[in-house]
Structure 1
Amino acid sequence: MPLVEYSDSESSGSSGAEGNGTKKQCQQGVKRKRTPSPGSSLPPLPDTFHDLYASTSRISNQDDPSLHGGRQRVTPHIEGNWPTHIYIEWYPSTENTKRLDDLLANMREDSSLEALQVHSLLKSDLGAELPLHISLSRPIALRAEQRRPFTDSLINAVSKSSICPFEVAVAGLDWVANYEQTRWFLVMRLEKAPRDSLNQLLRISNETVQVFGQPPLYADSQIRPQVHDTRQQKKRSIGRSQTTSVSASQEYPAHVAALNHMDASDSFHISVGWVLTAPSEALVEKLNQTRHDLQLVKIDVHTVKLKIGNGITAVSLASKIDSSNKIIEK
């Protein structure tokens, strides 16, 4: 019996209904049958296959940084809360993985100290390839009874939107810190997405999390700049908050109108590596001088993913993009 049974011409079974209006708006080009990759007689694995093994086994029930390369938990675990994240997943091609591996190897040449070692996000400790992602929410926490309503709310919002699958390009490289300044990430910054699609998905995510008492992503500096002092405003951040409790709605009351006009195009990114302390001047200078062809990297976006605990829900957009960048009906 095969490990996974599915038809070569069928969808991989992502959650979320498609509205007829949205489907018509996204329908362009000619429908093409999916074909297996060159040199293979087998059809590609469905997207949902990767979701079955998305989580690693828990080594300890305590926060032990020594088990995680020195990383410390930013959001403390509270019994009964479920860690939650909304994101876009991207598996780099073999060619793109090599580009990024070479980039990280180049960065490691100038980081002899353990705290400055650039850790890769491309592969696990056992060498297995890992997916990268574009965040659409902060790491938040839901109560057990909120999981199903939250999932339904996100599915409905994405399904009713007019957002079609799209392709976004890499704009360049940068070092950015998380909100708590506990880790610095080597990231690929992204170009503004066609039809403002990333901002549209972010607005849907932010509105959804706020209904459930959670803080929005990338909103602090644009909606509530008075909260941070001048020095904090000047620090680069990737938008994580010190407050992710279920009572966070008290911190973020009724900013939906402002969120609808927020442009976070300069904030979207894909992290490829990290260090525990601020990058040295040598690392920053090396990145500025690094020649790369990452502008050739394109990310196809056709699914939004929601992870609650170890469970993953894939919310499909209305259609898919083929290799010629034409939108086609599923």
Structure 2
Amino acid sequence: MALVDYSSSSSASTESLHQQPPAKRHKVGDSETSTPGRLSSPAVKVDGQDGKPSKRSAMPPLPSTFHDLYASTVRQSVVDDPSLHHGRKRQTPHIVGNWPSHLYIEWNPTSPEYDMLVNLVQDVETELQGKVKLHNFLTSDLGSPLPLHISLSRPLSLTTASKDDFLERAAGAIQTGAVGPFAVSPRTLAWYKSPDSDRIFLIIRVASRDLLGKGAGALNPELVALLRRCNGVASQFGQPPLYKHHEDGGSGDEAVGVAFHISIGWTFDVPGEEMSLRAIKVFKRSKYAEVRKWEIDVSAVKAKIGNSVHHIPLGRAGKGGIAGRPEAPDYF
């Protein structure tokens, strides 16, 4: 195969540049011309005779699986090192060859919602008066907004031999569980001490949109139904269930229903009772009344296994999210 003959002479390159035809001047309108040596502005497309710029069609929305492509952070160490994570330790110690896994519902707040949550955390920090170091889950180290979630499992650890079977069973259980798309809304702000973590979380408890404000009964029948399915699959693989302590210490679904939440911050420090109550009451201010009206749509469950995130759509259903025909899960 013959090699391409590239000239090594810089003078040849210079000569070829001088042989290029001079750049043409582009008119913008009837009176303005571009100045030699400067980039000219692109012509503006106009409609009709009024000279007004035409409106471009809005970009189509990104698919719900788009964020799954960028759900994992860069690995900084092959061993557990709390110094890389603000002192945090794994709830489930990593075992070489096992796959850290999690079942959850993802929520990507809109820009106005994100800004409101940032203000909420800042107001809570003000009430803490600098006595408690509060880290937030809203922003990455690079300043980018992060997705939030509602957990449907504890941190899991799957073997290589079992991870594919787990995903298949989880998808089957979720899609045959008679739960279709539904919505939840923020209900209250609270502090939550995880039973298997040293951290205290600042959380927003959620309630089913259809049952919000109706008083008695389970606040989240759809989430409770999904949790039972996810816990059932986890137990088949020897994994601990989520919110088992709520079932043991409460009255069934009603006790479990109040446990679902979205974590927006965390701390190692224990705020005093008075300070803690002041911080929680921030959510009741009139400026956050709109937050309690938000609707967080739930149409799928995410299964994160290692660095891969799998999208499992819920079955189709009418209002209320009960009953439906399942769709095919998106494993990739």
The alignment's TM-score, normalised by the length of structure 1, stands at: 0.70
Amino acid at match of 1:70: G
Flag the structure with larger Rg: 2
> 1:320 Cα deviation (Å)?
8.2
1:118 aligns with 2:134: yes
> 1:41 Cα deviation (Å)?
1.9
Select which of 151, 165, 168 maps to 1:152. 168
1:307 aligns with 2:304: yes
Amino acid at match of 1:159: Q
1:101 aligns with 2:118: yes
User: Is 1:182–1:277's contact at 8 Å kept on the other side of the alignment?
Assistant: no
Cα deviations across residues 105-127 of structure 1 (Å, max 9, x unaligned)?
A: 1122244658x221111110101
Q: Aligned to 1:279, what secondary structure does the other structure show?
A: coil
User: Is 2:97–2:160's contact at 8 Å kept on the other side of the alignment?
Assistant: yes
Q: Aligned to 1:210, what secondary structure does the other structure show?
A: helix
Return the alpha-carbon distance in structure 2 between the equivalents of residues 277 and 196 of structure 1: 33
Alignment of 1:174-213 (within 5 A): 174-192=190-208, 194=210, 196-213=221-238
Return the alpha-carbon distance in structure 1 between the equivalents of residues 254 and 126 of structure 2: 39
Q: Specify the alignment match of 1:265 in structure 2.
A: 257
Return the alpha-carbon distance in structure 1 between the equivalents of residues 209 and 161 of structure 2: 35
Q: Specify the alignment match of 2:245 in structure 1.
A: 220
Structure 1 residues 129 and 321, CA gap change in structure 2 (3 angstroms): farther
Cα deviations across residues 206-226 of structure 1 (Å, max 9, x unaligned)?
A: 111111111111113423x6x
User: Is 2:149–2:263's contact at 8 Å kept on the other side of the alignment?
Assistant: yes
> 1:279 Cα deviation (Å)?
2.3
Give % identity: 39
Structure 1 residues 277 and 180, CA gap change in structure 2 (3 angstroms): farther
Gaps of 5+ in 1: 1-37, 226-232, 234-257
Q: Specify the alignment match of 2:37 in structure 1.
A: none
Cα deviations across residues 216-252 of structure 1 (Å, max 9, x unaligned)?
A: 11113423x6xxxxxxx9xxxxxxxxxxxxxxxxxxx
> 1:134 Cα deviation (Å)?
0.4
Structure 1 residues 54 and 119, CA gap change in structure 2 (3 angstroms): same
Q: Aligned to 1:191, what secondary structure does the other structure show?
A: strand
Q: Specify the alignment match of 1:45 in structure 2.
A: 62
Cα deviations across residues 184-203 of structure 1 (Å, max 9, x unaligned)?
A: 11111011465811111001
Alignment of 1:158-177 (within 5 A): 158-177=174-193
The alignment's TM-score, normalised by the length of structure 2, stands at: 0.70
Amino acid at match of 1:73: R
1:316 aligns with 2:313: yes
Q: Specify the alignment match of 2:102 in structure 1.
A: 85
Cα deviations across residues 74-125 of structure 1 (Å, max 9, x unaligned)?
A: 22111121111000000011221121111111122244658x2211111101
Structure 1 residues 162 and 154, CA gap change in structure 2 (3 angstroms): same
> 1:262 Cα deviation (Å)?
7.6
User: Is 2:91–2:197's contact at 8 Å kept on the other side of the alignment?
Assistant: no
Structure 1 residues 39 and 305, CA gap change in structure 2 (3 angstroms): farther
Q: Aligned to 2:78, what secondary structure does the other structure show?
A: coil
Q: Aligned to 1:97, what secondary structure does the other structure show?
A: helix
Select which of 46, 58, 74 maps to 1:57. 74
Amino acid at match of 1:103: L
> 1:181 Cα deviation (Å)?
4.7
User: Is 1:153–1:208's contact at 8 Å kept on the other side of the alignment?
Assistant: yes
Amino acid at match of 2:167: T
User: Is 1:89–1:132's contact at 8 Å kept on the other side of the alignment?
Assistant: yes
Cα deviations across residues 162-197 of structure 1 (Å, max 9, x unaligned)?
A: 211001111110011111351111111011465811
Amino acid at match of 2:135: H
**CA root-mean-square deviation:** 3.0
User: Is 1:209–1:215's contact at 8 Å kept on the other side of the alignment?
Assistant: yes
Return the alpha-carbon distance in structure 2 between the equivalents of residues 92 and 61 of structure 1: 32
User: Is 2:179–2:317's contact at 8 Å kept on the other side of the alignment?
Assistant: no
Structure 1 residues 113 and 74, CA gap change in structure 2 (3 angstroms): farther
Q: Specify the alignment match of 1:130 in structure 2.
A: 146
Return the alpha-carbon distance in structure 2 between the equivalents of residues 47 and 270 of structure 1: 19
Q: How many residues align?
A: 256
Q: Aligned to 2:168, what secondary structure does the other structure show?
A: helix
Amino acid at match of 1:177: K
User: Is 1:300–1:321's contact at 8 Å kept on the other side of the alignment?
Assistant: no
Amino acid at match of 2:311: A
1:277 aligns with 2:269: yes
Amino acid at match of 1:279: P
Return the alpha-carbon distance in structure 1 between the equivalents of residues 161 and 97 of structure 2: 10
Q: Specify the alignment match of 1:296 in structure 2.
A: 293
Q: Aligned to 1:277, what secondary structure does the other structure show?
A: coil
Q: Specify the alignment match of 2:49 in structure 1.
A: none
Gaps of 5+ in 2: 1-54, 211-219, 328-332
